[in-house]
A and B are shown apart, each in its own frame.
Chain A
Amino acid sequence: MTDFIDLAIKYLPRLLVAAFQYTLPLTAISFFFGIIFAIMTALIRVAKAPQNEWADAALKILKGVAATYVWFFRSTPMLVQLFIVFYGLPNAHIALFQSAWVSAITVFSLNTGAYASESIRAAISSVSEVQKQAAESLGMTTTQVYLYVVLPQAARISIPPLSNSLISLLKDTSLASVITIVEMFYLSQQIAATNYKVLSMYILVAMVYALFTSILSIGQHYLEKYTSRFAQ
């Protein structure tokens, strides 16, 4: 136990630096873009066909693209997606993805977006039709109906599943180690390779992940409490 405390005192600061330099920014940036992808995908998937032949055809194509995107990212491992983007695309002369950061953020965002889009889609669908009709009857445009009535209500319903997505994402950023990003887990591997305290190092890094995910869980609790002020 004393050994473990000594190890923690020695290496915890380095792990925390790696967390703030890589793990947390990767999580925050990817979640931000992921939510944007998720909202766009969910809105496309719940959109109703307008009374216009061309718009109807365009919407059908968009719905097809959105459904394929969700299907692909939900049905393939994130590790494989990272390999395709970081090792595969540069091989096909797409130079942008030679950057490990760009590759990681792209995959994490798209993956989170695919999962979160299903949560948001379900939340949007759960807002009652009469709420939309009431907004329309006030003269709101479709954009206003969604912006001021549907999405705020859907946001409250989405908090638990989106919090799950965020917590999963934070843990999944450890996969960035396989594409050369020296994030927290990769650093712990490097340290364990030099001091041979393999079990202790991995327990220590697991505790740091648990610390961050616990903070997120507490945040989720307060966010749910705050938004439940307008619901029974």
Chain B
Amino acid sequence: MIKVENLSKKYPDKNALDDISVTFPAEETTAIVGPSGSGKSTLLHSLNLLERPTSGRLIVDELDLNLDKTLTKAQVLDVRKHFGMVFQEKALFTHLTVLKNLTEGPTKVKKISQDQALEKAHALLKQFNMEELANRYPYQLSGGQQQRVAILRALAMEPQYLLLDEPTSALDPELEAQVLRVLRELAQKETSMIIVTHNMAFAQQVADKIVFIDNGHVGYDGKTEDFFHSTDPRIKQFLGAMTF
């Protein structure tokens, strides 16, 4: 389980997150939704400390960090061991083939042997029907293929939690569907996922829980079903704006 308490992220010109407290259960899919610029991605990036919060407390399974203090490099790396992350776009290592993208983390970070890493990578590619992409470079892949490989790269590290930052926002609907199918499959296997998304239909279908971030504050934190039937005027306004 991941828990953030009184988390704040202040920039000189604005407070991206203001005193946020949320829990992300293990083996569930949590969707973080909200208007553009509300702080969704900042919250997601704060969980694996790619973004350093200004203050608050972060609990990731056995780790309990006081974010008011400067964290050591070892603490940061300990937190990151728990997470795999998928970015909006263009995050595959451009100088490596798909196979090398999948083995780079396990061999360099987890120090497992090249043979073991390759075996695991091939197994993942086979599981998601992407074996034919193994020796291609990222520029030779479509946007959808790139994002699916990015998901596998994160999974190759066998993380406890998978963080996804609007993984389909740069894709056209057909390619988006390819990526969403993979995520749906992972959700069905009770993979712990936290996903920032603008796709409300997908969130409604796949997420067990919704966290609605509005202007740096938590506007809703609860069951998916209740969110979509909420009578809260702000949520109704948001959902209204997200549908045609």
Contact = CB atoms under 8 A, between A and B. Distances in A.
B109 A138 contact: yes
B90 interface: yes
Contacts of B81: 139
B220 interface: no
Chain A interface size, under 10 / 10 to 19 / 20 to 34 / 35 or more: 20 to 34
Chain B contact-residue range equals 35 or more
A230 B50 contact: no
A125 interface: no
Quick one: which of A131, A134, A141 has the most chain B CB within 10 A?
Answer: A134
B149 to A, nearest CB: 12
B28 interface: no
Contacts of A131: 90-91, 93-94
A80 interface: no
Contact of A139 (B77, B87, B93, B97): B77
Nearest to A137: B85
A148 B87 CA distance: 19
Interface centre among B83, B105, B138, B157 (most CB of A within 10 A): B105
Interface string B59-91: 000000000001001000100110111011111
B137 A138 contact: no
A219 interface: no
Interface in B26-78: 48, 50, 52, 70, 73, 77
B4 to A, nearest CB: 18
A141 B73 contact: yes
B104 A133 contact: no
Nearest to A140: B109
A133 B87 contact: yes
A40 B229 CA distance: 58
B171 interface: no
Interface string B92-116: 1111110000001100111000000
Contact of B157 (A52, A130, A139, A231): A139
18 contacts: A52-B70, A128-B90, A130-B88, A131-B91, A134-B92, A136-B80, A138-B84, A138-B104, A139-B80, A140-B105, A140-B108, A140-B109, A141-B77, A152-B95, A153-B95, A156-B95, A230-B97, A230-B139
Interface of B: 48, 50, 52, 70, 73, 77, 80-81, 83-85, 87-97, 104-105, 108-110, 137-139, 150, 153-154, 157, 163
